[in-house]
Amino acid sequence: MTERAFKYRFYPTAEQENLLRRTMGCVRLVYNKALAARTEAWYSKQERVDYKQTSGLLTNWKKTEDLQFLNEVSSVPLQQCLRHLQKAFSNFWSKRANYPRFKKKRNGGSAEFTKAAFRYKEGKLWLAKCEEPLNIVWSRYIPQGCEPSTVTVKLEPSGRWFVSLLVDDYTVEVLPPTDKKIGLDAGVTSLVSTSDGEKIVNPKHFNRLYKKLKAAQKELSRKTKGSRNREKARLKVARIHAKIKDARTDFLHKLTTRLVQSNSLIAIEDLAVRNMVKNRKLARSISDAAWGEMRAQLEYKCEWYGRKLVKIDRFFPSSKRCQCGFVIEKLPLNVRSWDCPSCMTIGIDRDINAAKNILAAGLAVIVCGADIRPDNHSVKGASAVLGVSPTRLSRGQLRKTRKRKKQKPK
């Protein structure tokens, strides 16, 4: 039993679009006002405002003359946005995310409806205060016996409407066991290199539409702010971005599904993508490859289908390590193959070699545990299994620790 979201595109009528746009506008207003109130309370009085207090503020806002329009939409999405704000602050205080940001109209919007605010019956969905069901394109139906617990309506910047139905008691059939195991090395030229010797070429969806996007953005920059022509140009840019995103997501879903179906164990590197995109020369290529999205898909698909995903420590020298155990000191990115002076192996492909070492390290982690690094020594923040990422000391802290160990006692 697990949770699964089914996402569909729908085409609202004029009345439904008017109501949904007003609902999203109210959600955005309540979220921003609550965020401003919590920020002001912290900086002025050093007080933390919680969900209960913001809910009380919402009740008072509805009673004012200027905000009477908040009563015209369903109250459920307004309460849900306050819960989302509470969760955002919880993640911030726990240092899992940055400080919450204000919502902007140009980013579209979303509204979440719980069971009290929608009705689902015989393949039709009615939202609160909507007389007619939504005109949904049912690309796939929800399995029989499953009822959605929440419904999220989203308007993309490109103008497309989507509805996401979250099903709680969804059961996925576990795939039959297989003896095949694989290691994956993520890259830019080759999106994935496998331990079997296969290299999957990176489609580079952004580069395919880069010239078209550049021309559209140039046209947008020349329009007068607030004009109707600027809105048309903005939609044109947003639609190109939507094409890039759809192509990238579709390719990754097909790739990860194939890998999960054919392998019982998948070993990958626990890459810090957020830190890697700080490199200005590689940021665009890394973002276009979407390593984070690929890892997320592998995680939940392995959990669904009964496969095992092992994450290897990001500092493990997978590319520099030969199969004989020799580790080369330096291996720049422009060097794609190298020769081992120990076993005299010539022309070692760094990507395929890294994938093989990642698989061997993953098998070692399963046998020895997550606290043992594949090169036979324990380390703080070593490899993690099934997404458990331990805390790692910074390089400065490691240097200080080493200096203390080297110093002799007086």
| pLDDT for residue 305 is more than 50 | yes
324 within a domain of the structure (yes/no) = no
pLDDT tens digits along 70-95: 999 999 999 999 999 999 999 999 99
pLDDT tens digits, one per residue of 195-207 = 998 999 999 999 9
List pLDDT tens digits, range 145-195.
788 999 999 999 999 999 999 998 667 788 898 989 999 999 888 899 999
pLDDT-derived band at 385 (thresholds 50, 70, 90) equals very low
Q: Please tell me which residue in 156, 269, 270, 313 is annotated as part of the active site.
A: 269
The total of other beta-carbon atoms located within 10 Å of residue 176's CB is 9
Kindly report, residue by residue over 257-271, the tens digit of the pLDDT.
Answer: 999 999 999 999 988
pLDDT at 403: 55
Residues 227-256: tens digit of each pLDDT:
999 999 999 999 999 999 999 999 999 999
The two beta strands, 199-201 and 372-373, are unpaired
Same domain, 149 and 193: no
320: left (phi over 0), alpha (psi -120 to 50) or beta: alpha
> What are the pLDDT digits (tens) for 5-48?
899 999 999 999 999 999 999 999 999 999 999 999 989 988 88
Number of domains in the chain: 2
Of 110, 139, 169, the domain-final residue: 169
Residues in the chain: 410
Question: How confident is the model at residue 318, as a pLDDT?
Answer: 83
Q: Can you tell me which residue has the tokens 């997404």?
A: 387
pLDDT of residue 142: 85
Task: Pick the more confident residue, 318 or 224.
Answer: 224
218 within some domain: yes
Average pLDDT over residues 282-305: 91
Which pLDDT score is estimated for 245? 95
In 3D space, the residue among 50, 53, 57 whose CA is nearest the CA of residue 88 turns out to be 50
Active site residue 40: no
Give yes or no for residue 109 having a pLDDT over 70: yes
Predicted local distance difference test score (pLDDT) of residue 165: 94
Collapsed DSSP state (helix, strand, coil) of residue 98? coil
Q: Which two tokens stand for residue 75?
A: 């109250």
Structural element, H or E, at residue 111:
strand 109-113
Q: Is 239 helix (H, G, I), strand (E, B) or coil?
A: helix
DSSP structure class, residue 319: T
Q: Is 164 part of any domain?
A: yes
Tokens 């580069």 belong to residue: 207
- 193 and 163 both lie in a single domain: no
Instruction: Identify whether the C-beta of residue 114 lies closer than 8 Å to the C-beta of residue 165.
Output: no
Furthest CA-CA distance within the chain: 83
Give the pair of three-digit tokens for residue 59. 């009740």
Concerning whether 375 is annotated as a catalytic residue, the answer is: no
End-to-end CA distance of the chain: 62
Residues 277 and 233 in one domain: yes
Q: How far is CA 398 from the centre of its chain?
A: 30
Q: Which of 112, 288, 313, 351 is catalytic?
A: 351
112, 185, 270, 288: the catalytic one is 185
Same domain for 30 and 118? yes
Q: What is the pLDDT of residue 399?
A: 55
Where does a domain end: 287, 312, 337? 312
Contact assessment for residue 52 and residue 60, using Cβ atoms and an 8 Å cutoff: no
pLDDT at 232: 95
Could you tell me if 273 and 138 lie in one domain?
no
What is the C-alpha separation between 200 and 192, in angstroms, rounded?
5
The three-class DSSP label of residue 318 is coil
Averaged confidence pLDDT in the chain = 86
Place of tokens 């422009």: 334
Report the DSSP pairing between strands 265-269 and 199-201: unpaired
Domain contains 359: no
| Sign for the pseudo-dihedral over CA of 29, 70, 74, 149 | positive
160 and 11 share one domain: yes
Whether 50 is catalytic? no
Report d(CA 406, CA 408) in Å as an integer: 6
Q: Same domain for 73 and 195? A: no
Position 394 pLDDT exceeds 90: no
- How high is the pLDDT of residue 313? 84
What's the domain range around 195? 181-312
Q: Is the pTM of this model over 0.85?
A: no
Residues 233 and 278 in one domain: yes
Predicted pLDDT at 319: 82
The domain boundary residue, chosen from 312, 342, 372: 312
Give the pLDDT score at 371: 53
- What's the pLDDT band for 330 if we cut at 50, 70, 90? confident
Residue of higher predicted confidence among 363 and 31: 31
Which amino acid would we find at residue 394? Answer: S
Domain co-membership, 60 together with 142: yes
Domain match, 6 and 150 both: yes
| 187 and 115 inside one domain | no
Query: Tokens for 64?
Result: 């004012």
